[in-house]
Structure 1
Amino acid sequence: MTPQDTAKPVRTGEELNQATLQTYFDEQQTGIGPIVEIAQFPGGYSNLTYLLRTETGEYVLRRPPFGAKDIKGGHDMGREFRVLSLLQSAGYGRAPKPVVFCEDEAVMGCPFYVMERVPGIILRAQTAPKMGLSSDTLRHLSERLVDELATLHALDIGPTDPARPALIQLGKPEGYIRRQVDGWHKRYLASQTDELPAMTELARWLDQTMPTENPPTLLHNDFKYDNVVLAPDLSDIRVVLDWEMCTVGDPLMDVGTALSYWAEADDDPFRKSFNLTWLPGNLTRQQFANRYAERSGRDVSNLLYYYVFGLFKNAVVIQQIYARFKKGLTTDERFAGLLAGVQALSRHGVEAVEKGRL
């Protein structure tokens, strides 16, 4: 079995200056030895990710996409590096170890950071069904995902003193649910292209049935199969990736987001394209919820609200992409049919509310 993400030759126009990088690493005494090769991970639509092979090991370099300098609040390399650093200081051993952050744009034209690479297997919805994974393996891995999320939520977020390196510095937990619901509704209205009654109904329901917030914890905010690196024998999780949306707030918001990706065997094809959780052996959404309650000790009786919010948020993200296509800001024909995805997710959200179950 081989890793699912293989570095490829760097795309034309996205090359890095190897000599300049080496000089910077040497001057900063990073311990990164002479660079032997630079390759690029081809996936993703946001930040650019490179593999640095050196005489001392393998490292991953992250930088914003070219032309993203003027995007306010986006592609914050410094914050990503800070999150990884705080996770290390909190004793969480399944985050990549940060090596160096460079904010001097004279080096590469943008801020960037480097972290250690952890090799392993990444399972993706497009490739996992072809790998012949046994139901026992998927049962074990789906249980490990739940357990790891509970472990994240058990981390001590520490005091509110900003002078101390505590995880609580990563967010403002009070009023988190209200800000999220209002913010994603505003994003939907700003990108709306069609009248979709289900989206309007979900926005109203989320506003009117908002629960009292649970005590805050660290939130990953994008926890799913393809954001974890597994051991080559698929026995365990080696590292959790993609911390750019990490913050602090109600932990059930994190669970709801994870469940919104968690397709089951009888779900529609669009939802099954999100994840590999519909393959035989995986926990169902309700089994996920039950195991999380057992591992975390939290009351999940109102988890339906958080699950529906996750569906609404995903629908808005898809709507934003579709709106860019409809306005002619992108000509990628893959985006032409995305409105059906918004309809599918919002319709499922309404059905979940009506049936009262995940």
Structure 2
Amino acid sequence: MGVIVAPETRDLEILASQLAAWLEPRIPEAKDVRVGNLAYPQGAGRSHETILFDASWAVDGRRETQGCVVRIKPVRHTVFPDNLFEEQYQVMKTLHEQGRVKVARPLWFEEDASLLGAPFFVMERVRGRVAVSVPPYRKEGWVAEATPAQRRKMWENGVRQLAAIQGTPLDSVSFLRGPDGARDGLEQEWDKYVRFVAWVSQDRPWPILDKALERLRVSWPANQPPGLVWGDARLGNMMFDENFEVAAVMDWEQPSLGGALQDLAWWLVLSETMHGAGPSGPHLEGMGTRDETIALWRELTGISPADVEWYEDFTHLKMSCTGVRLAQLGKMPFPDDAWLSKRLKV
């Protein structure tokens, strides 16, 4: 059985009536709008409250149905210091229009917080399967039960979509520019996590995180290719159809213009954690190795992966910040100092 990991939940019957009333004026000539089959996704979705639902309505005597997803801006349980909720919607809208990256079609954005207690947006529901983290997909579920050949196809299609993100013209996502002095590139992503460390250190200092920042800054990488950052690049944030093809790339809540190697490094680290030859057990047969992933990504993007090891170390810092923040929110235990020191190499 899956587990609901949403940051908070609400009465879904009340939400159904709220959404039905909100949807009616947004669907031309629709009558008798109904919302049903509401459910939280299981095993994924820690940072945002996300609810699946079906909407139906009558037009000229016909009944039409649309599968939808509502994503609600976090207010009390904020995992990240930066509010990029509207940018998340705009990135998805841009990518869907361009067609390079498979994302769910965004439908409507609502900035008025009075209805649900926070801004929200609705997107088309894509049907498929997700490699969930809870319980770990390498241990049970459809990925664990798949054949090595099926997992190989899944891995390759996932890396192809990861690479496709780097085909996004950066002028089409210029709304993602950061603050003065950190408008784009590595400096933008670096600025974000310097502020993240300061944010999680307000109630309790985390000198290990400060030392990790110092170590990374001293060994600053020479290779800094530009590129759009997805922000949580992993197999578990992709939806797959029954043929192990990518149906949708999901969870765009922390995008930036921070450079192409950010996502590659994040993907490599999470792959090692979730299905590689790491603490979770032996390599999951069929999944590409680290070297194979780098080689395919380079072939598809034409971008040099030089210095990717630095970006992997940076990824460990990013994940440590997120882990500390989730602990502050009561979602997991605080990381042990000795474990953090080993992970961050300080």
In which range does the TM-score fall when normalised by the shorter chain?
Answer: 0.7 to 0.9
The structure 2 residue matched to 1:29, chosen from 23, 27, 30, is: 27
Equivalent position of 1:137 in the other structure: 150
1:101 aligns with 2:109: yes
Q: Distance in 1 between matches of 2:271 and 2:233?
A: 10
Distance 1:133-1:99 versus aligned 2 partners, 3 A rule = same
Deviation (angstroms), 1:194: 7.6
Deviation of 1:190 (Å) = 5.1
1:233-256, Cα deviation, whole Å (9 max, x unpaired)? 32x101111111122231011211
User: Take 2:114 and 2:194, find their aligned partners in 1: how far apart are those partners?
Assistant: 39
Q: Specify which of 148, 152, 177 is matched with residue 171 of structure 1.
A: 177
Structure 1 residue 14: deviation in Å?
Answer: 6.0
2:121 paired residue number = 113
- Scaled by the length of structure 2, what TM-score is found? 0.79
Q: CA deviation at 1:21?
A: 2.6
Where in structure 2 are the equivalents of 1:141-160 lying within 5 Å?
141-158=154-171
Q: 1:194-209 alignment to 2 at 5 Å? A: 199=209, 201-209=211-219
C-alpha spacing 1:185/1:155, structure 2 compared with 1 (3 Å): closer
Taking the TM superposition and a 5 Å limit, the aligned residue runs for 1:333-348 are 335-336=332-333, 338-340=334-336, 343-344=338-339, 346-348=341-343
Q: State yes or no: 1:245 paired with 2:240.
A: no
Deviation at 1:90, TM superposition (A): 2.4
Are the equivalent residues in 1 in contact too, given 2:223–2:307 (CA < 8 A)? no
Match of 2:293 among 281, 288, 306: 288
When residues 44 and 217 of structure 1 are mapped into structure 2, their CA distance, relative to the original with a 3 A threshold, is same
Tell me the distance in 2 between the aligned counterparts of 1:170 and 1:52: 30
Report deviation, 1:195: 7.1
SS at match of 1:23: helix
Q: What displacement does 1:112 show? A: 1.4
Alignment partner for residue 227 of structure 2, among 217, 229, 232? 217
In the TM superposition, residue 312 of structure 1 has moved relative to its aligned partner by 1.5
1:224 alignment partner AA: R
* 1:94 aligned counterpart, secondary structure: coil
Q: How many residues align?
A: 321
Name the structure 2 match of 1:40.
Answer: 39
How far residue 170 of structure 1 moved from its aligned partner, in angstroms, is: 2.2
Alignment match of 2:193 (pick from 159, 165, 184): 184
Alignment of 1:28-107 (within 5 A): 28-29=26-27, 34-42=33-41, 43-55=44-56, 56-65=65-74, 67=76, 73-74=82-83, 76=85, 78-92=86-100, 94-107=102-115
Distance 1:315 1:63 in 2: 25
* Equivalence for 2:345: 350
Corresponding letter in the other structure for 2:313 = V
> Which ranges in structure 2 are unaligned for 5 or more consecutive residues?
57-64
Tell me what 2:16 maps to. 18
Kept after mapping to 1: 8 A contact 2:276/2:284: yes
Opposite residue 122 of structure 1, the aligned amino acid is V
- Which residue identity does 1:137 align to in structure 2? Q
- Over 3 Å counting, the alpha-carbon distance change for 1:184 and 1:80 in structure 2 is closer
Are positions 1:267 and 2:293 aligned together?
Answer: no
Contact 1:184 1:313 in 2 (8 A): yes
Q: Could you tell me which amino acid in structure 1 is paired with residue 176 of structure 2?
A: L
Partners of 1:195 and 1:29 in 2: how far apart? 50
Aligned residue type for 2:40: F
- Which of 304-313 and 41-50 deviates more? 41-50
Paired residue secondary structure (2:108): strand
Q: Distance in 2 between matches of 1:200 and 1:20?
A: 45
> Which amino acid is the alignment partner of residue 81 of structure 1?
Y
User: Aligned partners of 2:121 and 2:206: how far apart in 1?
Assistant: 43
Is residue 232 of structure 1 aligned with residue 242 of structure 2?
Answer: yes
CA–CA distance in 2 between the matches of 1:41 and 1:58? 14
Separation in structure 1 between the aligned mates of residue 5 and residue 55 of structure 2, nearest angstrom: 14
Alpha-carbon separation, structure 2, partners of 1:302 and 1:134: 34
Q: Per-residue deviation at 1:215?
A: 4.2
Identity of aligned residues (%): 19
Asked if 2 retains the 8 angstrom alpha-carbon contact of 1:14 and 1:66, the reply is no
Shift of 1:75: 6.7
SS of match in other structure, 2:121: strand
Q: Contact between 1:87 and 1:167, CA under 8 Å: does it hold in 2?
A: no
Question: Quick one: structure 1 residues 95 and 31, their matched pair in 2 at CA, closer, same or farther if it must change by over 3 Å?
Answer: farther
